[in-house]
Structure 1
Amino acid sequence: MSEIAMRATDKGRTGPVERLFSPLTVALLLVIGILGFAGSMLLGAYAPDMRSGHDGGTHALSNAATGFSGIVALAGATGRNPRIIRAETDWATDDLVVVTPDHGWTDLSKLMATRKGRATLLVMPKWLTLPDKGRPGWVKVAGLLPAIDPARILAPATEIAVSRHASGGRPLQAVRWAPDALNVAAPRPLQVMTSKALQPIVTDDAGGIVLGQVGDSSIFILADPDLLNNHGIRRLDRARAGLAIFDFVRDNGSRGIAFDVSLNGLGVGRSPLKLAFEPPFLAMTLAIVVALALVGWQALIRFGAPRPPERAIAFGKAALVDNSAMIVRKAGREGGLGPRYAALVRERARAIFGVPVRLTDAEADAYLDRMRGRGTFTALVDMAAGARHPADMLASAQALHQWQQEKTR
């Protein structure tokens, strides 16, 4: 629809214009849309960090029997400052790092290289579990993993043999300098290990290693996870033993305990979107948001009195003259207007002053020169014919028009 038709339609309306949406509705839609967009951006950036980990796995976020969320909560309640790490970049910490891989063939080479000289506790896997379909986050124990599975935890750099046997709940035996709480009743069945590379810290009554130190390093291996997992620490003595293990293997410089879940598939990488919401890029993000808010405010709020738009094509004779002049100007034909305007004035003068029709143009000009006035018609015609500049042409046209007006008074 053209602008002329729209304006004509608006002039024909007598009642108020009915709006499709009220300003309040539009404002609410905008607010909801902006909040939804911002929320989707934040969720896209931090969704990996918000995964609950309630998948029945053997990690620090799992509430299953084979998980370790209970010991994490207990460590926090007793002032040991536990935290969850999801990225490999967080391995380089002076805190004790507790690693609970799902299987022994999990690649720990990068972790071992990063943790060289730092206190680290590796917890061997033990149980073969299946998801409990009736209760999400729970598992059903299907049996024990093959012994070769946990034995590969440091293979091939460190050869370890793993065996299981009925412990009868007999007490474990810790070295003299270890806490007494480690002399706890053994889990049933008990998983132990033997290796020339390990120094025994806690053993069973047959000499099988339950907690061992890898050479003279700060790396410790716990053979039986039932001393730390949710199933094991339901007993008070084992809960005390689990905390005693942390206190024993921690360095003096450790201020907390970091439980790794990145090796359990719950890690996160560096996200460019996440960087936009964290320092130092957060300041730039806020500046962009403020700038967009100001642009939106300026677009919605009118400044100053409203100015109706001008018509593309005006009505009346004045519009016709303006359009004709614009066409002549665009065509570059101003130079030929002077003689033509003079001829137009001559024809009007012939009709007004009764010049005989038999006279030629030159004779008619001489006839008009004999009329009284301040200037002669012939001189004005010559000035119009010689005008080439738009200003000179305008002056000659005004002179001819003034001559005509003077003679008709």
Structure 2
Amino acid sequence: MSDIAIAPPQADTALFRGRTVGLMLAIGIAGFAAMLVLGAYAPDLRSGRNGGAHALSNAVTGYAALVQLAEATGRHPRIVRTAHEFDTEDLLVVTPETGAVDISEALMQRATRPTLFVLPKWRTVPDDDHPGWARYQGLLPLHEPIGVLAPGVRFTMRQYSSGGGALVSNGVPGRFWAPRPIQVITGIDPTNKQQQDQWRQLTPLLTDGRGGIVLARIGEGPLYVLADPDLFNNRGMKDLGQARSALALLDWMNSTDPDGVAFDVSMNGLGHSRSPLKLLFEPPFLAMTLAIAAALLLAGLHAFGRFGPPRARARAVAFGKTALVDNSALLIRKAGREARLGGRYAAAIRDRAARAFGAPARLRDGALDEYLDSLKGAHRFTDLLQAADAARDRHSLLDAAQALHDWQEDKSR
């Protein structure tokens, strides 16, 4: 039976037009590619405006103003999002927000390079009226700033209400005023048995004049600790003189042939790690990605293109006598009975020749064969009949049938 309808097909039976399908595919492919790219680079695109105390924050406790000032004055600041970027001679400013932040990577890689740790001070909550801003809730308990460098370095600290007077400088540039309230280091905890020997020395650089240290150098290397972040954060940058002093202090600490100042945000939860997905869009794997995309594009174009007009499928069982003969021949071929048709074909040629050559009607079988042999020609009919009967394969049968056909044509001339 056929699965093709007898009725002629309609001119256009497609559910969607070609342009509609093409547009749907283009939008889907573009959306999928955009999703991959955004998934790979999403950590790099985060603005960091979450009210935190880091270099991307425009909240009162953030350091975005200092970064912008450094940029405006040609100090080439940059944001560091991974520990792999700690390997630089630039001053690295680290601003952990709690004592639980793991800073061991920075301590190991920055032992001989200028590094400034700014200790946390304020407890804040997001400002619902201004996205990215924060409101004070009070001071953090002292165990938070003390725990930043602990247990390798464990300070004793104090928070109190200052009178806002000038801080005392011990060889550092600039003039700073004491924040209100102020947070200071009072010394090294003598009960800390895990204190590392190279960090037992504490050199005051800025003090409050009452024995409290606001900025200190630890050990002999360029490792600095700022006890009160209000000297550098957005709150402190509102004063022009203090902003100038902050930039001068950065220059003073950044004294090992730097190219700029690096502000770390990886320890504030804004870092990123290398991912296999991101590698697809970076050299040297970018060339492979583009080659695969081009191959897929060519395959899509090939799928949409046609080589000539579309063909209608033929019926499984065609109409007419020719189709009936073709189907019968196919059945005989499938059954493997072709070689047994030689004798029958010869008998059909005999009957046709008898009528064509006017053989007497009384002649039968052998007598009719002798009559046909008596006709002049290059071959005898009985020889061709025997060759047809003896055929056992398709090729020999075809040769015998062709010989019988030629014999008849030759006699009909």
Q: Give TM-score scaled by structure 1 length.
A: 0.88
1:190 corresponds to which residue? Answer: 182
Alignment of 1:170-249 (within 5 A): 170-176=165-171, 178-179=172-173, 181=174, 183-196=175-188, 197=200, 198-249=202-253
Structure 2 matches for 1:323-342, cutoff 5 A?
323-342=327-346
**Contact in 1 for aligned 2:90/2:260 (Cα 8 Å):** yes
In structure 2, what residue type is equivalent to 1:345? Answer: I
Letter in 2 for 1:33: G
The residue that corresponds to 2:257 in the other structure is 253
Contact 1:122 1:220 in 2 (8 A): yes
Partner of 2:5: 5
**Is residue 379 of structure 1 aligned with residue 383 of structure 2?**
yes
3-state SS in 2 of match to 1:199: strand
Task: Please state how far the C-alpha of 1:395 moved relative to its aligned partner.
Answer: 2.2
Task: Decide which moves more: 374-383 or 155-164.
Answer: 374-383
**2:291 paired with 1:299:** no
SS in 2 for 1:246: helix
Contact 2:4 2:313 in 1 (8 A): no
Instruction: Using the TM superposition, give the Cα deviation of residue 235 of structure 1 relative to its aligned residue in structure 2, in angstroms.
Output: 1.2
Question: Relative to structure 1, is the Cα distance of residues 192 and 306 closer, same or farther in structure 2, using a 3 angstrom cutoff?
Answer: same
Partners of 1:357 and 1:110 in 2: how far apart?
118
* C-alpha contact 1:75 1:81 (8 A) present in aligned 2: yes
Is 1:61 aligned to 2:46, yes or no?
no
How far, CA to CA, are the matches of 1:395 and 1:129 in structure 2? 103
What is the rounded CA distance, in whole Å, between the counterparts of 1:262 and 1:356 in structure 2? 113
| Alignment RMSD | 2.6
Displacement of 1:97:
1.0
| Identical aligned residues as a percent | 50
Deviation at 1:29, TM superposition (A): 3.1
Does residue 41 in structure 1 map to residue 36 in structure 2?
Answer: yes
Instruction: Give me the TM-score of the superposition, normalised by structure 2.
Output: 0.88
Distance 1:2 1:285 in 2: 47
**CA–CA distance in 2 between the matches of 1:216 and 1:147?**
26
The answer as to whether partners of 1:355 and 1:367 remain within 8 angstroms in 2 is no
Q: How does 1:5-404 map to 2 (within 5 A)?
A: 5=5, 8-10=7-9, 17=12, 21-176=16-171, 178-179=172-173, 181=174, 183-196=175-188, 197=200, 198-303=202-307, 305-306=308-309, 308=311, 311=314, 313=316, 314-349=318-353, 353=358, 356=361, 359=364, 361-404=365-408
Report if aligned partners of 1:227, 1:241 keep a CA contact under 8 Å in 2: no
Structure 2, unaligned runs of 5 or more? 189-199
Is the 1:53–1:62 contact (alpha carbons within 8 Å) kept by the matching residues of 2? yes
Give the distance between the partners of 1:56 and 1:126, measured in 2 at CA. 14
Q: Which amino acid aligns with 2:5?
A: A
Q: How far 1:22 sits from its partner (Å)? A: 4.7
What letter is aligned with 2:99? G
2:65 alignment partner, SS class: helix
1:117-169: CA deviation from partner (whole Å, max 9, x where unpaired): 11111000000112223332222211101111101111111120110112201
- Over 3 Å counting, the alpha-carbon distance change for 1:19 and 1:387 in structure 2 is closer
Query: What is the CA–CA distance in structure 1 between the aligned matches of 2:313 and 2:24, rounded to whole Å?
Result: 33
2-structure distance, mates of 1:382, 1:122: 111
Q: C-alpha offsets along residues 358-392 of structure 1, whole Å, 9 cap, x if unaligned?
A: 84x33442343344544332111011122334333
Q: Shift of residue 276 of structure 1?
A: 1.0
Q: Which moved more, 1:241-250 or 1:399-408?
A: 399-408
C-alpha separation in 2, matches of 1:347 and 1:231: 119
Greater Cα offset, 386-395 or 52-61: 386-395
The separation in 1 between residues aligned to 2:321 and 2:260, in whole angstroms, is 90
Q: Show CA shifts across 1:155-208 (max 9, x none).
A: 1111201101122011001113x21x1x31110011000234321111111121
* Alpha-carbon offset, residue 280 of structure 1: 1.4
Distance in 2, Cα, partners of 1:142 & 1:349: 120
Unaligned runs of 5+ in 1: none
Q: Which amino acid aligns with 2:115?
A: T
CA contact (8 A) 2:58 2:133 kept: yes
Q: Is the 8 A contact 2:51 2:126 kept in 1?
A: yes
Deviation at 1:307, TM superposition (A): 6.8
| Cα distance change on mapping 1:357 and 1:4 into 2, 3 Å | farther
Name the stretch that deviates more: 188-197 or 160-169. 188-197
Q: Please tell me whether the aligned partners of residues 200 and 213 of structure 1 are also in contact (alpha carbons under 8 angstroms).
A: yes
- Counterpart code for 2:75: R
The Cα of 1:354 is off from its aligned counterpart by: 6.0
